[in-house]
Chains A and B, each alone.
Chain A
Amino acid sequence: MPADTGFDYVRAADTAHALTLLDTPGAKPIAGGTDLVTLLRSGVDRTPLLVDLAALRGQAVRVEPRPPLGGPGIVLDALARMADVAADGWVRATYPVIAQALELSASPQVRNLGTVAGNLAQRTRCPYFRAEAPTPCAKRSPGSGCAARRGVQRGTAVFTADPDCVATHPSDLAVALAALDAEVLVESRAGERTIPVTEFYRPDAETVLRQGDLVTAVAVPPVAAGSRSAYLKVRERASFEFALVSCAAEVVLDGCVIRSARLAVGGVAGHPWRLTEAESALVGLELGAPAVRSAIDTAFAAADPLPGAVFKVELAARAAVRALRAAGSHR
Chain B
Amino acid sequence: MSRARTRVDGPAKVAGVARYAADHPGPDLRHLALVTATVPAATISTVDTTAASAAPGVVAVLTHENAPRLAPPVGAPYGGRLPLQDNEVHYDGEPVAVVVADTLDHARAAADLVRVDYEVRAAITDFTAVTDLVVPSPPPRWGPADTNVGTPEPAEVTLARVYTTAARHHSPLEPSATHAEWRDGRLFVRDATQGVFGVRTVLSSVLGLPREDIRVVAEYTGGGFGAKGYVWPHQIIAAMTAVHLGGAVRLVLTRAQSFTSHGYQPPTRQRITVAAHRTGRIAALEHDSVSPTATYGGYVEMAANATRVLYAAPAIRTSHRIAPVNTILPTPMRAPHEGPGAFATESLMDELAHELGVDPLWLRLRNHADVDPTSGLPFAAKDLRACYREGARRFGWERRPLAPRSVRDGHDLVGWGMASAVMATFRFPASARVRLRVDGTVVVEAGCQEIGTGTYTILPQVAADVLGCPADQVTLRLGDTDLPETGMTAGSSTTLSVGSAISAAATTLTAQLAELAGADAVSLTGTTLELDGDPDRVVDLADLFAEHDLVEVTADGSFTPTDTGHSLHSFGAVFAEVAVDEDFGTCRVRRLVAVYNAGRIINPLTARGQMTGGLIWGIGQALLEQSTLDHELGRFVSKDLAGYLVATQADVGELEVAFVGEHDPHSGAIGARGIGELGAVGVAPAIANAVFHATGKRIRSLPITPENLL
Contact = CB atoms under 8 A, between A and B. Distances in A.
Given A130-B640, A131-B639, A315-B710, A239 B584 contact: no
Among the interface residues A1, A132, A151, A242, which one has the most CB atoms of the partner chain B within 10 A? A132
B583 A43 contact: no
B651 A237 contact: yes
A147 B630 contact: yes
A318 interface: yes
Contacts of B583: 318-319, 321-322
Given A236-B586, A237-B651, 18 more contacts: A4-B113, A131-B637, A132-B254, A132-B640, A133-B36, A135-B630, A135-B635, A147-B633, A150-B632, A152-B630, A152-B637, A236-B624, A236-B703, A240-B648, A311-B706, A318-B584, A321-B583, A322-B411
A3 B648 contact: no
B109 A236 contact: no
Mostly, the B contact residues are loop
Contacts of A132: 254, 256-257, 639-640
26 contacts: A1-B105, A3-B56, A3-B110, A3-B113, A6-B109, A125-B643, A127-B637, A130-B640, A132-B254, A132-B639, A135-B630, A151-B633, A152-B638, A234-B584, A234-B586, A235-B586, A236-B586, A236-B623, A236-B624, A236-B645, A237-B645, A238-B648, A238-B650, A318-B583, A319-B583, A321-B583
Among the interface residues B109, B113, B411, B642, which one has the most CB atoms of the partner chain A within 10 A? B642
Nearest to B646: A237
Nearest to A237: B645
Interface in A2-16: 2-4, 6
**Which 6 residue pairs are nearest across A and B when measured between Cβ atoms?**
A3-B109, A132-B256, A238-B650, A239-B650, A318-B583, A127-B638
Nearest to B110: A3
Interface string B619-656: 00001100010101101011110110101111100000
Nearest to A170: B642
A315 B706 CA distance: 9
Interface string A36-51: 0000001100000000
B547 to A, nearest CB: 61
Contacts of A133: 36, 38
B256 A3 contact: no
A128 interface: yes
B705 interface: yes
Contacts of A127: 637-638, 643
Interface string B643-679: 1010111110000000000000000000000000000
Interface string B235-255: 000000000000000000010
A232 to B, nearest CB: 9
Contacts of B638: 127, 152
Interface string B470-487: 000000000000000000
B650 to A, nearest CB: 4
Contacts of A239: 648-651
Contacts of B108: 1
Interface of B: 36, 38, 55-56, 105, 108-110, 112-113, 254, 256-257, 411, 583-586, 588, 623-624, 628, 630, 632-633, 635, 637-640, 642-643, 645, 647-651, 703, 705-707, 710
B270 to A, nearest CB: 23
B113 to A, nearest CB: 6
A134 interface: yes
A217 interface: no
A154 interface: yes
Contact of B647 (A136, A234, A237, A318): A237
A4 B110 CA distance: 9
A130 to B, nearest CB: 7
A262 B640 CA distance: 36
Interface in A117-150: 125, 127-128, 130-136, 147, 150
Among the interface residues A128, A132, A136, A236, which one has the most CB atoms of the partner chain B within 10 A? A236
Interface of A: 1-4, 6, 42-43, 125, 127-128, 130-136, 147, 150-152, 154, 234-242, 244, 311, 314-315, 318-319, 321-322
Given A3-B112, A234-B586, A239-B648, A311 B707 contact: yes
Given A127-B637, A241-B645, A43 B112 contact: yes
A329 B585 CA distance: 23
A234 B411 CA distance: 13
Contacts of A134: 38
A236 B585 CA distance: 9
A131 B105 CA distance: 20
A128 B649 CA distance: 28
A150 to B, nearest CB: 7
Contact of A236 (B56, B633, B705): B705
Contact of B630 (A4, A151, A314): A151
B590 to A, nearest CB: 12
Among the interface residues B628, B648, B707, which one has the most CB atoms of the partner chain A within 10 A? B707
A136 B370 CA distance: 57
Nearest to A150: B632
A238 B707 contact: no
A167 to B, nearest CB: 14
A96 to B, nearest CB: 20
Contacts of B105: 1
A267 to B, nearest CB: 12
A263 to B, nearest CB: 16
Contacts of B584: 234, 315, 318-319
B255 to A, nearest CB: 9
Contacts of B640: 130, 132
Contacts of B588: 238
A151 B630 CA distance: 6
A128 B632 CA distance: 13
A237 B624 contact: yes
A136 to B, nearest CB: 8
A152 B628 contact: yes
A311 B586 CA distance: 13
B57 to A, nearest CB: 10
Contacts of B637: 127-128, 131, 151-152
A238 B646 CA distance: 11
Contacts of B256: 42, 132
Contacts of A242: 642
B284 to A, nearest CB: 37
Given A43-B112, A127-B638, A234 B648 contact: no
A236 B648 contact: no
A238 B651 contact: yes
Given A3-B109, A237-B648, A244 B706 contact: yes
A196 B77 CA distance: 60
A131 B630 CA distance: 12
Among the interface residues B36, B584, B633, B639, which one has the most CB atoms of the partner chain A within 10 A? B584
Contacts of A237: 624, 645, 647-648, 650-651
Nearest to B631: A151
Contacts of B648: 237-240
A236 B109 CA distance: 36
A268 to B, nearest CB: 14
B171 to A, nearest CB: 14
Contacts of A319: 583-584
Contact of B633 (A3, A135, A241): A135
Among the interface residues A42, A125, A234, which one has the most CB atoms of the partner chain B within 10 A? A234
A151 B254 contact: no
A151 to B, nearest CB: 5
Contact of A2 (B38, B109, B642): B109
A238 to B, nearest CB: 4
Nearest to A106: B642
A234 B640 CA distance: 21
A314 to B, nearest CB: 6
A244 B709 CA distance: 14
A152 B647 CA distance: 21
A43 B36 CA distance: 15
Contacts of A244: 706
